[in-house]
Structure 1
Amino acid sequence: MKRIDLNCDLGESFGAWRMGEDAALLALVSSANIACGFHAGDPAIMQHTVALAVAHDVAIGAHVSLPDLQGFGRREMSVSADEVHAMTLYQIGALQAFVRAAGARLAHVKPHGALYNMAARDRTLADAIARAVHAFDPQLRLFGLVGSALIDAGKALGLPVAAEAFADRRYLADGSLQPRREPGAVLDDADLATAQAIGIARDGTVKAANGQPVTLHADTLCLHGDGAHAVSLARQLRTALESAGLRIAAPGAA
């Protein structure tokens, strides 16, 4: 049976401020990317989210970011490769403390926001992230955008990788994501997002913004956990994917 991973960015609350419905989403996804304190999350939130992921038997990943709490990690910064390497190691280690204490295993690493986009196109930064992941544990899987420099960097070091696509983002004809600042870049219609997800997962294709079909082979689909209708969309997507004959499972799962 063909399979696809459903991953979601979680643990993005901070202090008294709450974001997302993590418990409900963890019942629907197969991989969780947990914020490590740089763009969101704090020690108590990290510990709680790890416990929820363990209870739902969901693969746990470190969602590493630029140090930008105020901007939610979505603002690009001028950082060196050495800084990116160090901050990646720092965040993986922080989450691993809670994962190990819970008797679980860290499965993957996925950059967040601006760092994700920068590493998708900048091979030097991509290499820095991949080297940090490899230095921490060469069995950790590296998540990155389909066809990106980050996927190439992971493969070059022999890391297992997961090429990621998005159910609710519009694509351009070259297979890249349409910038968020452009109208229509985010698919707010659940039916359109579901149809796009099935096309990617089952057929390996996506319709670009100009209507042109684009080949897109993905191992994992990202669901954003911070939207107002995130849970209902996740539920609809999972039901539709399973009805289309796909098995929902984390990369590398038996």
Structure 2
Amino acid sequence: MQKKPLILVTNDDGITAPGLRTLIHIMNEIGNVVVVAPDSPQSAMGHAITINSTLYSNAVKIDDGPQKEYSCSGTPADCVKLAVNEILERKPDLCVSGINHGSNSSINVIYSGTMSAAVEAGIENIPSIGFSLCDYAIEANFEPVKEYVKTITIAALKNGIPKDTVLNVNFPRLPKEEIRGIKICRQARATWMEEFDKRTNPLGKEYYWLTGKFVNLDKGEDTDEWALAHGYISVVPVQFDLTAHHTIQDLNTWNLND
């Protein structure tokens, strides 16, 4: 009998988030599941880690299932570090993060706690996938994407994710019958046009509220934003080597040692 894979499940919306609970139930059909997730929401934390304060982890039981679960007082990246170094007896065969409440396509991958957990696992040489649904509501309907999460996960386990790469998977907010399929994409060139809403509290102290508008500057039809806008699930291979290799030759012409 083939041994079930060990799957680490985490997220950034917190251990009680419906998206995480959905992901756990799907992974229970595939492998042996251990959950290490933040004890409170950690959205947009990027790749922050805790170095100047203590970390706490507690075994918890949120709902029925064979999985072992732990809440962590730290960030999503902390959760993966703690899982690999303290909780698990061996490295997992796969790490899955999500299902995030909200898009992590395009530039959002930089800020995403969901993807930072997946990237941290990738740094540890653990195949990893971040899953996100383009619906920020806490009552978001994950039912239409369950089959696709399972399909992508099984394919990753069977084929292997390329070395030093993690997968960023985003689902459009659509009924199942309107999802047109899965597209392998590149990250769209897009940005946030940000504004700060300046306000004054009752004590007269000024404070700021960050607002902004997402602007897609990329007209390509091979991007994650195009795929999502046209009813497809986007899968973007993400690397954590941030070197701009194509610029090295140009920079060497600067003759910095002369």
Larger Rg: 2
Report which of the two has the higher share of helix: 1
Same fold, judged at TM 0.5 (above): no
RCO comparison, higher one (Cα < 8 Å, 6+)? 1
